[in-house]
Amino acid sequence: MIRPLPPLFIIGSPIGHSLSPLLHNAALHQLGIPLSYEAIEIRMDELQDLIREVRLSNVVGFNVTIPHKETIIPLLDKFDESARRIGAVNTVVKDDRGLIGYNTDIDGVEQTLAPYRSSIMRTSALLIGAGGAARALVYVLKHSFGVLKFSLATRSVKKAESLISDLEIENAEIIPWEEFRQLRSHNAKLMINATPLGMHPRVDESPLGSSFRFTPNQIAFDVVYRPEKPLFLRHAERNGSSIITGLPMLLHQAVASFKLWTGKEMPLSHATEVLLHTLSKIE
Ligand code: NAP
């Protein structure tokens, strides 16, 4: 663990792929805010110690990513309404009330899907994965886009069941992982990868089986943002579907977290420029 802790950081495991330090440091620098943001690898068994250390340090706040978005909940003091209802936290603010959990992935999903509103409204969605990102997606699709039917393809049926029950989803099917990997097609309008499959450095992985075919009227969305077009999206594009990359979600959730910590708007065009420039060099 890093000692002393920086004022802002992201925890996860693995965390090497994260572009959040780049985004937040560019914005902090641009606005002349004397804070820094780092990525810290934290395994499950280190989470409690980290939180103890946060309470003793001059930390402003931090982001939470895979695999801690749900397990961190019992370690925090308060939650905003959306994080409580979703059951996943991606942003923590430290203030005089203690450690407060928020979910800005919701903002990321809302903003990313807004341009596709008329195509998505009151349709159906298949989500691959049932973790923190999937929870934010299902919440937004249900409440803002009136999605009528959800299919969840996951390794852990139990996890899918608790997502369905916590988010009070009425029309849902669970597709066990082995069965999903054999599918040749699915009729959901929106096909979403909410697993880390395809994320740098394991760019040859896809959640789909080799015989799967998208249809041209489907929309594929991948939360993985590095590479910008993971295998899942390249597969969808080859089959003629529309695609949505994970970068807008990354940017918009970062904007919302930045505002919670600093009270300031992240300069989005500068942050986007820095992000795209870096991606073009590393991919
Ligand atoms: P999480 O809460 O740990 O959930 C991960 C989900 O993926 C779980 O359902 C997990 O299943 C499944 N999974 C993991 N490895 C798998 C594998 N090898 N095969 C099949 N399923 C697998 O993580 P998260 O926070 O939701 O993040 C998921 C991904 O989304 C990460 O790559 C993260 O970087 C990305 N993300 C991107 C954005 C963005 O702004 N674009 C925002 C949030 C997250 P098990 O429970 O069986 O392990």
Domain extents for the chain?
Answer: 8-103+248-282, 107-245
Residue 207 confidence (pLDDT)? 98
The token duo for 235 is 């597969």
Nearest protein Cα to ligand 1, atom 27: 66
- Position 201 confidence tier, pLDDT thresholds 50, 70, 90: confident
Instruction: Decide which of 2 and 105 is more confident.
Output: 105
Q: Is the CB of 261 under 6 A from ligand 1?
A: no
Alpha helices in the chain (DSSP H): 20-31, 47-56, 81-86, 105-113, 117-120, 132-143, 157-166, 177-182, 231-238, 247-262, 268-282
For residue 102, list its beta bridge partners: 91
Residue 247 CA: nearest ligand 1 atom is 41
Architecture of domain 107-245: 3-Layer(aba) Sandwich (3.40)
Distance 196 CA to ligand 1 centre (A): 5
Architecture of domain 8-103+248-282: 3-Layer(aba) Sandwich (3.40)
Q: Is the CB of 154 under 6 A from ligand 1?
A: yes
The two domains 8-103+248-282 and 107-245 share their CATH topology (first three levels equal): yes
Distance 33 CA to ligand 1 centre (A): 32
| Eight-state DSSP code of residue 122 | T
Nearest protein Cα to ligand 1, atom 43: 133
Structure confidence by residue, pLDDT tens digits, 25-46: 999 999 999 999 999 999 999 9
Q: Is the CB of 199 under 6 A from ligand 1?
A: yes
- Residues whose CB is less than 8 angstroms from the CB of residue 137 and which lie 6 or more positions away in sequence, other chains included: 105, 109, 125, 127, 192, 194, 223
Structure confidence by residue, pLDDT tens digits, 79-115: 999 899 899 999 999 999 999 999 999 999 999 999 9
Q: Is the CB of 271 under 6 A from ligand 1?
A: no
Q: Is the CB of 248 under 6 A from ligand 1?
A: no
Residue 279 confidence (pLDDT)? 83
The predicted model scores a pTM of: 0.95
Q: Is the CB of 108 under 6 A from ligand 1?
A: yes
Closest C-alpha among 198, 263, 254 to residue 228: 198
- In the predicted model, is pLDDT for residue 2 greater than 60? no
Residue 69 annotated in active site: yes
Residues found in the chain: 283
Q: Is the CB of 196 under 6 A from ligand 1?
A: yes
Mutate to test the pocket of ligand 1, among 10, 11, 65 (most ligand atoms within 8 A of CB): 65
Residue 177 CA: nearest ligand 1 atom is 20
| Eight-state DSSP code of residue 74 | G
Please say whether the beta carbons of 50 and 72 come within 8 A. no
The token duo for 28 is 């902090």
Task: Report the mean per-residue pLDDT for the chain.
Answer: 95
Report how far residue 146's alpha carbon sits from residue 81's, in angstroms, rounded to the nearest whole number. 20
Residue 283 confidence (pLDDT)? 65
